[in-house]
Amino acid sequence: MTLTATRVFAEWRDKSLDDALAECRDAVESPDFETVQRWRDEGGKVVGHFQVYFPEEIIHAAGMLPFKVRGAPMEPNLADSHFGSYLCSILKTSLEMALSDQVPMEMFVSHPICDAARNLAAIWGRNTDYPSQILYLPQNPNSSGSADYLEHEYNRIKRVTEEVADVEITEEALRESITVFNENRRLIRELYDIKANTPWLVAAEDAYALVALAGMIPREEHNELLATLIPLIKKRDLKREDRIRVVFEGGFCEQPPFDLIRMLGRTCYLVDDDFMIGLRYLTSDVPTDGSPLRQLAESYLERSSYSPVQHDLRKRKEDMLIERIRGANADAAILSAAKMCEPGLEEQVAYTHALDDEGIAYFVSEFEENMSSFDQLELQVETFVENLLFQ
């Protein structure tokens, strides 16, 4: 049995759709990341990669588990003293996972997505005894040199990965991984089509859990999960309700608490969002011909989504948001940002001005992954929604 045949999340199998979804929610909400531990129990190695995007295919092709580091619902008891004030929560809870040995890893990779996160690799490296690398994704994707550069950078990460995994990553293995991930991206797109077209068939928190699992179980297993549950979701006999269709923007890095997503899903239809956008950053299949690393690089540069932390002259963020709103046929947007998230907070200003110009309604808020009281926020969202409904 190879590692890619390893299965670590059996709880959903042979259950009704509702029970299977409940298992998915529990797995994602748990701070224990049991699936990762099971992978390790089978002798597998783990590479943690911090938000937003990472070419997981490279890790997968080495037979290791790419684990998406996206914070956790836990108190940063050990990590807190390693940081000053005025910082987002995700940095602290992510480091907490490492310091507490909650999620042992063989390597950690982060990206200079923001001023705070770009310090994380150095901090992580000072406090762990495994490689803590930075992957420099291009911040000038408009340069004619960016594809060559990124291919070279992916090749460098491949070399580091080979050392950690103690295996050679062949082009064939990379192609096979790309095929697995293409299928995964296709399935996630299918799920998002359901959210956009028939949002009453899948609750917001269930869709979220289904996607988030991709970052914590083998991708083949995630494909099996989605391929099994998506048809069942489509067959549900649920009635459409008179709800406002809303796009949520602001979940590209730190994740809103599960209960916040649940609350929003109770109040309106979340027809599109940027939760865990890195898992579906590449918007179409990565070609499997030619050099796999080149194709991954080209896909990142030419066929990808957007977030406040990637600069691309062709993708002005407010234009992309409006495209997302229109593409999902949404009535309004929730413009949120994690507390102390500088890029998210800065982008809110551009978003609000652009949506004002377009006459699109929006609701501005902030969240923190560990917030636990939503009463006031729920009241505000309900008021916002009622205003729209009775306009």
Partner 1 sequence: MTTLEDTQELVGRGNREGAALFRDWFTDLDATAKSGGLSAYVFVMGSINEILKTFDLPVVFPEINSLQTAVRRVAHEYLEEAEDYGYSPDICGYVKADVGTQLRGGEHPMAQIPKPGITVLTNACNTYIKWAEIWERMYEIPMFTIDIPGTREAGTQTWKGDSDFEGDRKYVEVQLRELITLCEEVTGKDFDIDKFREVLGHANTMSRSWNRVLELNEAKPSLFNALTDGTIYLGVANGLRGTEVGARYFERLVEEMEYKAANGIGQTIEEKYRLLFVGVPCYPIFRRFNELFTDWGGTFVNSTYLWFASGGTNRGFEYELADPLASFAEGVLVNVRDAMDSMFHQDVVLKDMAKDFDVDGIVYHPIKSCRTVSTGLADGRKHMTDALGIPSLFMESDMMDRRVVSEAQMKNRVDAFFEGLASRRQQALADPKVR
Grouping H, G, I as helix, E, B as strand and the rest as coil, residue 127 is helix
Pairing of strands 107-110, 132-134: parallel
User: What whole-number distance in Å separates Cα of residue 91 and Cα of residue 76?
Assistant: 9
User: What whole-number distance in Å separates Cα of residue 122 and Cα of residue 189?
Assistant: 35
Name which of 43 and 145 has its Cβ closer to partner 1: 145
User: What whole-number distance in Å separates Cα of residue 308 and Cα of residue 311?
Assistant: 7
How many residues are given for the chain? 391
Name which of 27 and 87 has its Cβ closer to partner 1: 87
The minimum distance between CB 304 and partner 1, in angstroms, equals: 16
The minimum distance between CB 221 and partner 1, in angstroms, equals: 31
The minimum distance between CB 291 and partner 1, in angstroms, equals: 15
The minimum distance between CB 149 and partner 1, in angstroms, equals: 4
Name which of 345 and 361 has its Cβ closer to partner 1: 345
Tokens at residue 77, please? 């008891």
Name which of 169 and 340 has its Cβ closer to partner 1: 340
Which of 282, 56, 284, 53 lies closest to 177 in space, CA to CA? 56
The minimum distance between CB 358 and partner 1, in angstroms, equals: 15
User: What whole-number distance in Å separates Cα of residue 231 and Cα of residue 293?
Assistant: 33
Name which of 17 and 147 has its Cβ closer to partner 1: 147
The minimum distance between CB 194 and partner 1, in angstroms, equals: 34
Which of 69, 6, 12 lies closest to 40 in space, CA to CA? 6
Q: Which residues pair with 132 in a beta bridge?
A: 108
The minimum distance between CB 150 and partner 1, in angstroms, equals: 9
CB atoms within 10 A of CB 373: 8
- Binding footprint of partner 1 on the chain (CB under 8 A): 81-87, 91, 112-116, 118-123, 125-127, 131-136, 138-140, 143-146, 148-149, 152-153, 156, 308-309, 311, 313, 316-317, 337, 339-340, 342-343, 345-350, 352-353
For residues 76 and 96, the answer to whether their CB atoms sit within 8 Å is: yes
Name which of 17 and 364 has its Cβ closer to partner 1: 364
Name which of 83 and 258 has its Cβ closer to partner 1: 83
The minimum distance between CB 136 and partner 1, in angstroms, equals: 4
Which of 234, 242, 259 lies closest to 28 in space, CA to CA? 259
CB atoms within 10 A of CB 202: 26
Q: Assess whether the previous peptide bond of 180 is cis (omega < 30° from 0).
A: no
Name which of 199 and 278 has its Cβ closer to partner 1: 278
Tokens at residue 51, please? 């938000």
What is the DSSP secondary-structure string of 11-76?
TTTTS-HHHHHHHHHHHHH-TT-HHHHHHHHTT--EEEEESS---HHHHHHTTPEEEEE---SS--
The minimum distance between CB 176 and partner 1, in angstroms, equals: 26
Name which of 6 and 146 has its Cβ closer to partner 1: 146
Grouping H, G, I as helix, E, B as strand and the rest as coil, residue 279 is helix
Name which of 299 and 348 has its Cβ closer to partner 1: 348
Amino acid (1-letter code) at residue 301: L
The minimum distance between CB 277 and partner 1, in angstroms, equals: 17
